Amino acid sequence: FTALDESGGYKYLIGVCHSVVDGDKVGVLQMELPGENRKTVVGRIDASDIMHGKDWVMLTYENGDPYMGHCKGNGSGPGEKRRAKIMFVCDEGASDVKALQPRVVEEMNNKTMDCFYLFEINTNVVCETRPLITIGLSTGTILIIVFLCVATFYLLAGVIYKRVMLKAKGLEQIPNIDFWKDFGNLEADGCDLVCRSRGARKPREYKGIADAQLDEPDFTANHDDGLLPM
């Protein structure tokens, strides 16, 4: 990879797990512009470290050329050796590895120790793999769907046929309506027979009528005697 800093004064060659200089184990090389005559090793691949988290990976190259005017700690003379930190950040849209553009974030050299160069590369390689969510239908669900489809087709086809061909109106448009009425009555009778909790009604008993009550009244008898005064 190739990157330029914001000022345009330096160009960086970045190798991921391979050297950018033939015959030497250079992971990051800094070249001063223009001319690229002055070259500085920022980090080497034989002194690397890697750490990662969710949707990011940090690759560190150490043992670069020492600082001359920065990062000297508490002593004098050459400063600590340079190091490069390459931050790979998840980007779902960055699928083409050849088109990746590293960005020079900063050179942290205003400290006495632990100075570093920070680079950032957006790529989908470090994105966390998310499992695909599949929704499966059980056998019972499939049977219910098939039943509803068949019942809907049966009802619509029957209504259209009876309305168009037989000129039926109202409830008479329902296909096989007499069968469904009888079927419903049979279901109700069966439910009443199986589920009812009261016992069967006993036949009502009637008392017999006496023979005297069956005799016809004698309208020929003379009952006027009781009406006359004594």
What band does 24 get if pLDDT is binned at 50, 70 and 90?
confident
pLDDT score for 204: 60
CB neighbour class for 124 (10 Å; exposed up to 12, middle 13-18, buried from 19): middle
pLDDT confidence bin for 197, thresholds 50/70/90: low
Kindly state the greatest CA–CA separation across the chain: 169
Look at residue 163 and tell me whether its pLDDT is greater than 80. yes
How far is 109 from 118, CA to CA, in rounded Å? 11
d(CA 184, CA 177): 10
pLDDT averaged over the chain?
80
Mean pLDDT across the stretch 154-167?
A: 86
Higher-confidence residue of 208 and 174: namely 174
Question: Domains in the chain, please, with CATH?
Answer: 2-123 (2.70.130.10), 139-194 (no CATH)
Reference 110, options 67, 63, 62, 71; nearest CA is: 71
Question: What amino acid is encoded at 187 in this protein?
Answer: E
Joined together, the tokens standing for residue 107 give 């050179």
Does the pLDDT of residue 195 top 70, yes or no? yes
pLDDT given for residue 8 in this prediction: 84
| Tokens at 46, concatenated | 């034989």
Q: Residues 75-109: pLDDT tens digits?
A: 666 788 899 999 999 888 877 666 678 889 988 88
- Helix ranges (H only) for the chain are 139-164, 177-195, 211-214
Cis preceding linkage at 34, omega within 30: yes
Q: Which whole number is the average pLDDT over 108-115?
A: 84
Global confidence as pTM: 0.54
Residue of 52 and 36 predicted with greater confidence? 52
Residue 190, pLDDT > 80, answer: no
58 in Cβ contact with 85 (< 8 Å): yes
Distance (Å) of CA 142 to CA 19, 43, 155: 59, 62, 20
Nearest CA to 103 out of 92, 115, 125, 88 is that of: 88
